[in-house]
């Protein structure tokens, strides 16, 4: 097995230098090397979207890339979404207001996918939002409440 | 009394943690020194295990142990039967690890423990198993033929059991009925697909010998009972707890070989161990639901009223009966559906195959029965030229007939009775909402434009609030906060919120003061499990009863301390107050007095603690009910189905929190749409699973799902103190029937009919091509 390699990742505004096996994927690295267990692993084949994080601002599946590939990158996980004082991000608040989560397992991936999408498309309509989360599976909600939360959050993010 | 929470759309108390990454799911548990487990699983659907060579695996650096059933003391002792029944003809349960033979692809044979999961998986590839392939029982239709290959090489046949439900004189009614129609209906395997897979962490405390098992389960008390019984250990020495669970949907309710194997490995190695199921394992080794082949016949009178149903269901239980006959038994429970049948005779023949076992998935047998009954009702309507809704109206149990004894008999021998409802009102509400009046005109116009739209309706009843009990302990802590403890586990339904609402109302405290602990055998002594839409009824009623006891105790003590009459006391804002005065005492103060504060004397005859425990004993099930209506558009050139509208009108008794009930219904409907259109666990003729990832097995995703419009009709259940019925599965139950009916209606010009699901575009196109009707 190839030796562990040094990497430095900047996650939620903090820098982490670690030695990591080349085959360790980014999701495992975030969860088990950094203890950031808010990022969830649902399928490990890039289909469910639960592991979505922001990599240099773009939503990516952290199960589909290796930690060594993220060397030097800026990463945002669900832990980095709320403010320091604990105030929820408008998107998180909208999920609560609209019952956009049940078991909560797909939720971090949904939030990160929508954060990236709504930042780029603040005027997105329902159709566009449904397309945007087409790669995020949820078995609990039936998606409607997630869409409603996203629409409400988009309004809030536009006005704020 | 201030704010009333019961019935309000209260945002969930669970959400802040889950939205900020502070949820604690099974794989987030990280005990110091934990080793990781991976399983070697059978590549054959049926094979003798001739030999296992572990040398190469054992020599891989980082590998701690490579274990077989014999190493775990499990070679001669299969898993316990989780749900014993005298009807089980061959009681076949798993071995914790397969010993002499493997009987489905994915059955665990060897357990590897290593310092990391990656090394454990590397070592799995180095374990050499010599198999002798055996004939494979893959085709359900022939499972009970005398010459069929046997799923168990040492068994006389593939028959696990036969169940029968009947009432009335079915032969006499069929003899005199003017109309009889037969159908053969096929319902295919689908799965659980909670976004969190299963997982187990086990550790034994060296000092106390206490064994702690965390499992992503719906039923921690059942797991403890089974583990303690199998290991011959006192139950009090085992703690089983479910952390946050990322969806359950039924298959996480049973007991699994991995729960045993991981626990035994922790004991043997005296180290904490963890196994987390990956998605491929979930496809291979987590219980599925169905296949079923139904041969049924309906009798109707000239008005289209349904008189009787008879027939047989051949049910595929896979290779074992890990969950007894619970799933096939739920195929009898929902009969006769919402219909006041005069007679019924249904036989459920339970067969073994060399596939992963089946157990309840959201709705259990109820969606299957709804599909059968609704297909039959539509058939009667079509054959007799009577409106489909009219056939239902003429056949429904009427609102003035409750409680309505169906003729069926419950497990304790008592007659099954529908407790309350208004089936006609639900149907009319669904039809009004979808705009049935002008639908035919719209359909006609659409067809002129070359568009094929269709309307489907489906009705159902659901037995909910399964006996015997759940319990709850309610305690006012010294600081006035209220702790509610219950055994009932949660997998995302929002139970903590619903239960907190109930307590907050009874004790007149803000909901923010209430904390709910659940699903931990260390927190509450007895529990059953979160199955069969039962927690609102059983745990909800228990919390209500325990809270009432706490309230009575608070009033009694306050009367003593305030020198007032009990009748003059009211609870408000965390205080007990003498009505109309400013004399009051805080619940916190009473709690401290009852905690022996300052060694002050206790009020005479009062036990310590402002706390109480109560168990709600359910004697009979509550029956939720409803009707759904859907409008779809089908493209006859591609077979594509678009769901344009979906309406649910339902009665689950009184609503504790409409926000949560809406969520349950919408999620349930979408699960049912998955059953109708997408989800199919495909196997080849050697019972090799062909759909083991989300490219081959399709789950519903956001773009193709409709909005679900919901009308609540609250007909309180008279059976429990809070008037509720279950809501967790009602969304799923009629959905496949409703969607398939709508597709059939859309394609009526082609004369096609459907008696199966899921309906893929390919299946729809095939049906159109087979049809001789002109466009």
B719-769 pLDDT per residue, tens? 999 999 999 999 999 999 999 999 999 999 999 999 999 999 999 999 999
Q: B693 and A48: CB-CB below 8 Å?
A: no
Distance (Å, whole) CA B474 – CA B543: 7
Distance (Å, whole) CA A103 – CA A139: 9
Q: B703 and A99: CB-CB below 8 Å?
A: no
Q: Which residues of A touch B668 (CB under 8 A)?
A: 142
User: What pLDDT, on the 0 to 100 scale, is given for residue B661?
Assistant: 97
Range of the domain at A151: 90-159
Mean pLDDT of the residues in chain B = 96
- For the cut 80, the answer to whether the pLDDT of residue B543 exceeds it is yes
Distance (Å, whole) CA B399 – CA B679: 36
Share of chain B above pLDDT 90, in %: 93
For chain A positions 100-129, those within 8 Å of chain B (CB to CB) are 101-108, 111, 129
- Under the banding of pLDDT at 50, 70 and 90, the label for residue B717 is very high
Distance (Å, whole) CA B627 – CA B388: 13
Q: Which residues of A touch B19 (CB under 8 A)?
A: 78, 82, 88, 92, 95-96, 101, 104, 107, 111
**Residue B480: inside a domain:** yes
**Residue A54: inside a domain:** yes
Q: Which residues of B touch A138 (CB under 8 A)?
A: 195, 702
Q: Which residues of A touch B494 (CB under 8 A)?
A: 102
**Residue B596: inside a domain:** yes
CB atoms near residue A94 (< 10 Å): 25
User: What pLDDT, on the 0 to 100 scale, is given for residue B775?
Assistant: 52
pLDDT in tens, B555-611: 999 999 999 999 999 999 999 999 999 999 999 999 999 998 888 888 888 999 999
Task: List the structure tokens of B220.
Answer: 């921690």
Mean pLDDT of the residues in chain A = 96
Q: Mutate which of A140, A141, A148 to test chain B, going by most B C-beta atoms within 10 A?
A: A140
Q: Which residues of A touch B705 (CB under 8 A)?
A: 130, 142-144
Largest CA distance in chain B: 91
**Residue A29: inside a domain:** yes
Task: List the structure tokens of B546.
Answer: 């325990």
CB atoms near residue B512 (< 10 Å): 10
Q: Which residues of A touch B30 (CB under 8 A)?
A: 32, 35
- For the cut 90, the answer to whether the pLDDT of residue B529 exceeds it is no
**Residue B155: inside a domain:** no
Pick the closest to residue B486 from B259, B54, B495 (CA basis).
Answer: B495
**Residue A115: inside a domain:** yes
* Interval A18-43 mean pLDDT: 98
- What is the DSSP annotation of B469-492? EEEEEEEE-TTS-EEEEES---SS
User: What pLDDT, on the 0 to 100 scale, is given for residue B1?
Assistant: 44
**Residue B202: inside a domain:** no
Q: A37 and B28: CB-CB below 8 Å?
A: yes
Pick the closest to residue B460 from B658, B724, B747, B672 (CA basis).
Answer: B672
CA angle B453-B457-B458, nearest 5°? 145
B192-223 burial, b for 16+ CB within 10 Å, e for fewer?
bbbbbbbbbbbbbeeeeeebbbbbbbbbbbbb
Length of chain A equals 160
Task: Return the bridge partners of B484, or none.
Answer: B474, B516
Length of chain B equals 775
For residues A76 and A117, membership in a common domain is answered with no
Q: B21 and A147: CB-CB below 8 Å?
A: no
CB atoms near residue B33 (< 10 Å): 8
The enclosing domain of B515 has a CATH number of 3.30.365.10
Q: Which residues of B touch A82 (CB under 8 A)?
A: 19-20
Identify the residue whose tokens are 């434009």: B449
Q: B27 and A37: CB-CB below 8 Å?
A: yes
B754-773 burial, b for 16+ CB within 10 Å, e for fewer?
bbbbbbeeebbbebbeeeee
How many distinct structural domains can be found in chain B? Answer: 1
CB B480 within 8 A of CB B508: no
Task: Return the bridge partners of B25, or none.
Answer: B244
Range of the domain at B571: 15-22+468-617
Q: How many CB pairs under 8 A join A and B?
A: 173
Look at B533 and A20; give whichever has higher pLDDT.
Answer: A20
- For the cut 70, the answer to whether the pLDDT of residue B702 exceeds it is yes
For residues A10 and A74, membership in a common domain is answered with yes
Q: A40 and B492: CB-CB below 8 Å?
A: no
Q: A45 and B279: CB-CB below 8 Å?
A: yes
Q: Mutate which of B21, B38, B121 to test chain A, going by most A C-beta atoms within 10 A?
A: B21
Identify the residue whose tokens are 């289909």: A47
Q: B247 and A79: CB-CB below 8 Å?
A: no
Q: B247 and A102: CB-CB below 8 Å?
A: yes
Task: List the structure tokens of B567.
Answer: 């009748």
Task: List the structure tokens of B287.
Answer: 């219980």
**Residue B280: inside a domain:** no
For residues A76 and A94, membership in a common domain is answered with no
Q: Which of A35, A60, A80 is the last residue of a domain?
A: A80
Pick the closest to residue B273 from B197, B199, B196, B195 (CA basis).
Answer: B199
Q: Which residues of A touch B707 (CB under 8 A)?
A: 144
pLDDT in tens, A120-159: 999 999 999 999 999 999 999 999 999 999 999 999 988 8
**Residue B575: inside a domain:** yes
For residues A111 and A136, membership in a common domain is answered with yes
* Interval B62-82 mean pLDDT: 97
**Residue A85: inside a domain:** no
User: What pLDDT, on the 0 to 100 scale, is given for residue B206?
Assistant: 87
User: What pLDDT, on the 0 to 100 scale, is given for residue B416?
Assistant: 94
pLDDT in tens, B485-495: 999 889 999 99
**Residue A112: inside a domain:** yes
Q: Which of A26, A52, A80 is the last residue of a domain?
A: A80
Q: B244 and A104: CB-CB below 8 Å?
A: yes
CB B143 within 8 A of CB B295: no
Distance (Å, whole) CA B573 – CA B394: 52
Distance from CA of A80 to the nearest CA of B (A): 8
For residues A16 and A71, membership in a common domain is answered with yes
Q: Which residues of B touch A107 (CB under 8 A)?
A: 18-19
pLDDT in tens, B311-357: 999 999 999 999 999 999 999 988 999 999 999 999 999 999 999 99
User: What pLDDT, on the 0 to 100 scale, is given for residue B604?
Assistant: 82
pLDDT in tens, B628-681: 999 999 999 999 999 999 999 999 999 999 999 999 999 999 999 999 999 999
Share of chain B above pLDDT 70, in %: 99
Pick the closest to residue B14 from B514, B480, B504, B465 (CA basis).
Answer: B514
Q: A139 and B247: CB-CB below 8 Å?
A: yes
pLDDT in tens, B381-406: 999 999 999 999 999 999 999 999 99
For chain A positions 41-100, those within 8 Å of chain B (CB to CB) are 41-45, 47-48, 50, 77-79, 81-82, 88, 92, 95-97, 99
CB B273 within 8 A of CB B266: yes
Distance (Å, whole) CA B48 – CA B50: 6
Secondary structure class of B405 (helix, strand, coil)? strand
Comparing CB atoms, the residue among B19, B695, B703 nearest residue A95 is B19
For residues A72 and A104, membership in a common domain is answered with no
CB B103 within 8 A of CB B44: no
Question: What burial class does residue B462 get, using C-beta atoms within 10 Å of its C-beta: 0-12 exposed, 13-18 middle, 19+ buried?
Answer: buried
User: What pLDDT, on the 0 to 100 scale, is given for residue B601?
Assistant: 81
pLDDT in tens, B216-252: 999 999 999 999 999 999 999 999 999 999 999 999 9
Q: B21 and A45: CB-CB below 8 Å?
A: no
Distance (Å, whole) CA B563 – CA B593: 15
ipTM surpasses 0.95:
yes
Q: Which residues of B touch A32 (CB under 8 A)?
A: 30
Identify the residue whose tokens are 């956001």: B702
For residues A118 and A142, membership in a common domain is answered with yes
**Residue B267: inside a domain:** no
- Taking CA atoms, B607 is separated from B205, B484, B503, B556, B648, in Å, by 34, 19, 21, 12, 49
Q: Which of A80, A111, A142 is the last residue of a domain?
A: A80
pLDDT in tens, B90-102: 999 999 999 999 9
Q: Which residues of A touch B659 (CB under 8 A)?
A: 99
Largest CA distance in chain A: 53
CB A11 within 8 A of CB A39: no
- For the cut 80, the answer to whether the pLDDT of residue A1 exceeds it is no
For residues A74 and A104, membership in a common domain is answered with no
Q: B25 and A40: CB-CB below 8 Å?
A: yes
Q: Is B752 left (phi over 0), alpha (psi -120 to 50) or beta?
A: beta
Q: Mutate which of A103, A131, A133, A135 to test chain B, going by most B C-beta atoms within 10 A?
A: A103
**Residue B439: inside a domain:** no
Task: Return the bridge partners of B183, or none.
Answer: B296
The DSSP element (H or E) to which B102 belongs, if any, is strand B101-102
Q: Is A33 on the interface with B (CB under 8 A)?
A: no
Q: B193 and A133: CB-CB below 8 Å?
A: no
Q: B12 and A145: CB-CB below 8 Å?
A: no
- Under the banding of pLDDT at 50, 70 and 90, the label for residue B693 is very high
For residues A41 and A70, membership in a common domain is answered with yes
User: What pLDDT, on the 0 to 100 scale, is given for residue A37?
Assistant: 98
* Interval B508-531 mean pLDDT: 94
- For the cut 50, the answer to whether the pLDDT of residue A95 exceeds it is yes
Distance (Å, whole) CA B742 – CA B749: 13
How many distinct structural domains can be found in chain A? Answer: 2
Distance (Å, whole) CA A67 – CA B118: 15
């Amino acid at each position: 097995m190839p030796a562990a390699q040094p990497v430095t990742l900047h996650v939620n505004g903090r820098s982490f230098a670690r030695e990591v096996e080349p085959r360790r994927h980014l999701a495992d690295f975030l969860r088990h090397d950094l203890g950031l267990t808010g990022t969830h692993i649902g399928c490990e084949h890039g289909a469910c979207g639960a592991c979505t994080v922001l990599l240099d601002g773009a939503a990516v599946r952290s199960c589909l890339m290796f930690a060594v590939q993220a060397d030097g990158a800026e990463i945002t996980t669900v832990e980095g979404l709320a403010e320091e004082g604990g105030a929820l991000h408008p998107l998180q608040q909208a999920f609560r207001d609209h019952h956009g989560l049940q078991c909560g397992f797909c939720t971090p991936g949904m939030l990160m996918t929508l954060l990236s999408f709504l930042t780029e498309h603040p005027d997105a309509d329902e159709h566009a939002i449904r397309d945007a989360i087409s790669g995020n599976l949820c078995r609990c909600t039936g998606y409607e409440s997630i869409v409603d939360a996203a629409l409400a959050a988009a309004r809030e993010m536009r006005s704020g | 009394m201030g704010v009333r929470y019961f019935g309000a759309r209260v945002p969930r108390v669970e959400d802040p943690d889950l939205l900020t990454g502070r949820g604690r799911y099974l794989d987030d548990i990280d005990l110091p020194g934990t080793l990781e487990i991976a399983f070697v699983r059978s590549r054959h659907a049926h094979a003798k295990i001739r030999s296992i060579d572990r040398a190469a695996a054992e020599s891989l650096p980082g590998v701690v142990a490579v274990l077989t059933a014999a190493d775990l003391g499990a070679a001669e002792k299969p898993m316990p039967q989780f749900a014993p029944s005298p009807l089980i003809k061959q009681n076949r349960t798993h071995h914790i690890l397969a010993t002499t033979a493997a009987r489905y692809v994915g059955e665990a044979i060897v357990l590897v423990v290593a310092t990391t999961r990656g090394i454990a998986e590397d070592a799995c590839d180095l374990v050499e198993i010599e198999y002798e392939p055996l004939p494979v029982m893959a085709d359900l239709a022939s499972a009970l033929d005398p010459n069929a290959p046997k799923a168990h090489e040492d068994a006389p046949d593939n028959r696990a059991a036969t169940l029968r439900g009947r009432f009335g004189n079915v032969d006499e009614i069929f003899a005199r009925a003017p109309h009889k129609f037969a159908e053969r209906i096929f319902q295919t395997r689908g799965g659980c697909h909670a976004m969190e897979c299963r997982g187990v962490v086990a550790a034994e405390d060296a000092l106390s010998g206490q064994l702690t098992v965390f499992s992503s389960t719906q039923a921690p008390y059942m797991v403890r009972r089974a583990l303690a019984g199998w290991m011959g250990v006192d139950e009090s020495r085992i703690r089983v707890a479910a952390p946050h669970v990322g969806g359950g949907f039924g298959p996480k309710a049973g007991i699994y070989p991995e729960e045993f194997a991981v626990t035994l490995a922790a004991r043997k190695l005296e180290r904490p161990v963890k196994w987390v199921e990956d998605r491929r394992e979930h496809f291979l080794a987590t219980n599925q639901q169905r296949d079923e082949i139904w041969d049924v016949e309906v009798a109707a009178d000239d008005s289209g009223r349904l008189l009787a149903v008879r027939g047989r269901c051949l049910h595929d239980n896979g290779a074992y009966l890990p969950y007894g006959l619970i799933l096939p038994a739920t195929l009898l429970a929902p009969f006769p559906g919402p219909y006041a049948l005069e007679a019924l005779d249904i036989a459920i023949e339970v067969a073994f195959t060399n596939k992963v076992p089946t157990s309840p998935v959201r709705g259990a047998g109820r969606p299957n029965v709804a599909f059968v009954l609704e297909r039959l009702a539509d058939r009667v309507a079509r054959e007799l030229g009577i409106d489909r809704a009219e056939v239902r109206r003429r056949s429904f149990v009427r609102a003035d007939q409750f409680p309505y004894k169906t003729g069926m008999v419950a497990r304790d021998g008592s007659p099954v009775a529908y407790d309350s409802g208004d089936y006609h009102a639900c149907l009319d509400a669904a039809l009004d909402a979808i705009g049935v009046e002008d639908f035919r005109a719209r359909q006609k116009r659409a067809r002129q434009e070359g568009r094929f739209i269709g309307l489907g309706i489906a009705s159902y009843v659901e037995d909910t609030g399964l006996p015997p009990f759940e319990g709850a302990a309610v305690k006012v802590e010294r600081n006035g906060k209220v702790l509610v403890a219950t055994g009932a586990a949660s997998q995302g339904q929002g139970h903590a919120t619903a239960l907190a609402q109930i307590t907050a109302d009874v004790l007149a405290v803000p909901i923010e003061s209430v904390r709910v602990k659940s699903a931990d055998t260390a927190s509450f002594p007895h529990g059953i499990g979160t199955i069969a839409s039962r927690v609102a009824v059983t745990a909800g009623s228990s919390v209500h009863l325990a809270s009432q006891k706490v309230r009575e105790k608070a009033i009694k003590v306050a009367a003593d301390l305030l020198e007032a009459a009990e009748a003059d006391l009211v609870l408000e804002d965390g205080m007990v107050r003498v009505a109309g005065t400013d004399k009051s005492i805080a619940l916190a103060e009473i709690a401290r007095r009852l905690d022996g504060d300052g060694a002050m004397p206790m009020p005479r005859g009062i036990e310590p603690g402002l706390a109480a425990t109560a168990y709600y004993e359910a004697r009979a099930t509550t029956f939720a009910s409803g009707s759904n209506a859907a409008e779809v558009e089908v493209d006859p050139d591609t077979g594509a189905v678009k769901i344009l509208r979906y309406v649910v009108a339902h009665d689950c008794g009184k609503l504790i929190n409409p926000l949560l009930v809406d969520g349950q219904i919408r999620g349930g409907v979408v699960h049912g749409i998955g059953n109708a259109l997408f989800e199919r666990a495909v196997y080849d003729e050697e019972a090799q699973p062909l759909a083991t990832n989300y490219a081959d097995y399709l789950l519903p995703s956001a773009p193709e799902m409709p909005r679900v419009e919901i009308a609540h009709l609250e007909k309180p259940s008279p059976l429990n103190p809070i008037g509720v019925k279950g809501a967790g599965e009602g969304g799923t139950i009629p959905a496949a029937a409703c969607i398939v009916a709508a597709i059939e209606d859309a394609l009526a010009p082609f004369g096609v009919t459907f008696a199966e699901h899921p309906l893929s575009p390919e299946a729809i196109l095939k049906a159109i091509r087979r049809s001789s009707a002109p466009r």
